[in-house]
Amino acid sequence: MTTVTKMRLSKETFNILKNFSAINSNILIKPGNRIKTVSSGKNIFAEANVQEDFDTEVGIWDLNKFLGVISMFNNPDLEFHEKYVEISNGRSSVKYYYSEPTLLTVPPKDVKMPDVMFSFDLDEKDLNEILKASSILQVSNLNIVAKDGEIKIVVSDEKDDTSNSFSVTVNEDYSGPDYVGSLDVSDIKFLPGSYKVELSKGIVSRFKHIAQDLSYYIAIKRG
């Protein structure tokens, strides 16, 4: 006899899944309380530990549609069966079938963060200013520059030497090696909040949410 799991999805987990849908439109949730996703280009990996404990493998082809179905109801019950999940509020229900896992873009393995060369805190206010400046100036390159005793984040257009740019100093007491790394602003698909940013000697960076057990690993282009 197949065990049926019944739960309600917390607002926090719903928001994480909504955020993950911006990284990849599909997802495979494996048994446990850890969910993760990877972009189609494999340059963004995200993972989070959530309150819910799934004991059924759940493959979702269109994550936005799935979350939209959940939003049809007010705090619905989710009953996870072997091949589908039933979403209901007692009187009305939707039977939503899982996708075949082989059709989904699934992270092949966990990302192991290499030895951290240096790290810094990125305040939510600074992050919002960086994204706003990128939009207003219409520049798409985000550069992390560490030298001369400070760490700056600069947004500009690296293909244009006369590009308008915006910079913010995020650390004024830096004593590590010189470093220049860049990524595309469009890779910043984060939940709101402040982050601890870790940089390695290689191309891997980690943005770890200060208030939630949530991390984003992004490939960095070294200067």
How is residue 221 written in tokens?
């282009």
Q: What is the pTM of this model?
A: 0.93
Flag whether 109 is in a domain: no
Q: Could you read off the pLDDT of 80-122 as tens digits, one per residue?
A: 999 999 999 988 999 999 999 999 999 877 778 889 999 999 9
Q: Are 93 and 133 in contact (CB under 8 A)?
A: no
Calculate what percentage of the chain has a pLDDT beyond 90. 87
The domain boundary, picked from 60, 82, 103, lies at 103
Provide mean pLDDT across the span 54-58. Answer: 93
Write out the residue range of the structural domain in which residue 11 sits.
5-103
Could you give the dihedral angle defined by the CA atoms of residues 120, 126, 128 and 133, in that order, rounded to the nearest 10 degrees? -110
Q: How many structural domains is the chain composed of?
A: 2
Measured CA distances, 142 to 157, 158, 168, 180 (Å): 9, 9, 11, 11
* Same domain assignment for residues 32 and 96: yes
Question: Are residue 120 and residue 215 in the same domain, yes or no?
Answer: yes
Q: How far is residue 220's CA from residue 143's CA, in Å, rounded to a whole number?
A: 9
Q: Is residue 9 part of a domain?
A: yes
Q: How many CB atoms lie within 10 A of CB 179?
A: 18
pLDDT in tens, 193-223: 999 999 998 899 999 999 999 999 999 998 7
Overall average pLDDT of the 131-152 stretch = 96
User: Which pLDDT value is given to residue 3?
Assistant: 62
> What's the average model confidence in pLDDT over 130-149?
96
Instruction: Please give the pLDDT value at position 112.
Output: 81
